[in-house]
Amino acid sequence: MLSEAVHSYLALRRTAGFELRSEQTLLSDFATFSSGRGEAFVRIAVAIDWAGTARSSYQRARRLGMVIRCARHLHAQDPHHEIPPQVFGPEKAPRPTPYILSPEQITALVRAASQSGYRSLRRVTYSTLFALLACTGLRVSEAIRLRFSDITPDGLLIRCSKFRKSRLLPLHPTAREGLDRYLERRRAYAPTDDHVFISLRRKPLLCKDVETAFRTAARTIGLPVGPGHPRATPHSLRHTFAVRALQSCPDGRDAITRHMVALSTYLGHANVSHTYWYLEAVPELMRDIADRCEQFVTGGPT
């Protein structure tokens, strides 16, 4: 009975656009676990016991959160279902402090990539890729999925990226020139594949390939890439773009609001709160906010 209720709940949420792949597996496992305890409804004690089998506290909280959301839906239809409390704390671990690169570090990183490995297309592939990530704020997954048809006169067309959103990113003339130079060499290397960035195997790049190339270049110029926070990763180029864009935000409440919404759309964030996160995650922006608050309180220019 509980398995059928869970299946109905998942089907309803999928009609709203959710994929729910992990939820399907975990909630089905919870229903089986409950049946083994002789329960046909969601029970608080059983839900906590099931979620408690996960290894980490965040995994336990995530499991229980799934049951809670399902139980709320089921309870509205049948009060026999109990809604568990969130006893394991927050479902997500705190996001690590992003590593923000300086313009000089980005230049050095691109140069190091252009000199790393064999004298082949690999060098120009990764130097172009890192430069494109830095000047557009693209996700690595978005960049390696780019195809020739996605390069339009108006910019880069990012198709059905994270959260199933598509968007158009304008390119600065210098960025387009650099991309065009790369494509001249790349088309001759693998004319039968229409992916923009390819490996020496003449196949689309993988995220792990990009991470390996980034670590190599980062170590060459002395960036922190080992355990600990903050550390440089390929995603640091996206973080850096977002922070620099926020630092260029004009004054005025209305202007700031428009700027944040535009940047959130540009970056492909599902919620503008993900863009506002940078304000509290990056020391440079926190200092800017503190300075503005002090000026406001003291009556100075803002």
Residues assigned a catalytic role: 139, 162, 235, 238, 269, 278
- CA count, 13 A, side-chain hemisphere, 205: 26
Task: List beta partners, residue 167.
Answer: 158
Q: Are 172 and 135 in contact (CB under 8 A)?
A: yes
AA letter at 295: Q
Distance CA 31, CA 19 (A): 19
3-state secondary structure of 172: coil
Q: In the 8-state DSSP scheme, what is residue 114?
A: H
Q: Tell me what percent of the chain is helix, strand and coil, each rounded to the nearest 5.
A: 60, 5, 35
176's CB contacts (< 8 A; 6+ apart) are none
In 137-247, which residue ranges form alpha helices assigned H by DSSP? 140-144, 173-189, 207-220, 235-247
